[in-house]
């Protein structure tokens, strides 16, 4: 019922901002991003948030995921990941998913501003409380990717 607090509304706004950034800046990899947004939540359930983010780095590069920690806006994050050379579409889609997810976790104040390296990030993501607070972001990313990005 009335559990949707200001933070949740702000969360949805943040996710929408990212989906809009993706649809304008990442046209070539949208279908792949949608696939990631739909399939990766299963990895969260099976293995946890730390594993999920490590997986996105393993399938792209930790430097792409770190862009999510450094960007001032979701558009910044998406642009910088799209401009990075040397990635195939599928690889880039993992980088976009991980980078956007990390950006949103930071934007929501779930991890503090000082976290700037992949190593620091992974240490933080081991915390079950951080994982619990992050799971609505993953759910909204999935739903809004499905709504905005057609097959």
The token pair that represents 100 in the structure block: 């956007």
pTM here is 0.94
How far apart, in whole angstroms, are the C-alpha atoms of residue 3 and residue 21?
28
How far apart, in whole angstroms, are the C-alpha atoms of residue 141 and residue 34?
9
* pLDDT tens-digit readout, 89-130: 999 999 999 999 999 999 999 999 899 999 999 999 999 999
């Amino acid at each position: 019922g009335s559990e949707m607090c200001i933070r949740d509304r702000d969360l949805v706004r943040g996710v929408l901002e990212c989906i809009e950034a993706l649809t304008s800046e990442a046209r070539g990899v949208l279908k792949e991003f949608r696939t990631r947004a739909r399939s990766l939540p299963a990895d969260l359930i099976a293995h946890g948030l730390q594993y999920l983010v490590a997986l996105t780095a393993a399938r792209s590069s930790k430097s792409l995921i770190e862009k999510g920690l450094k960007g001032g806006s979701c558009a910044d994050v998406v642009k910088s990941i799209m401009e990075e050379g040397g990635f195939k579409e599928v690889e880039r889609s993992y980088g976009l998913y991980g980078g956007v997810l990390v950006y949103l976790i930071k934007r929501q104040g779930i991890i503090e501003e000082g976290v700037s390296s992949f190593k620091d990030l992974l240490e933080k993501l081991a915390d079950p409380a951080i994982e619990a607070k992050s799971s609505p972001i993953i759910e909204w990313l999935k739903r809004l990717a499905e709504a905005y990005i057609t097959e």
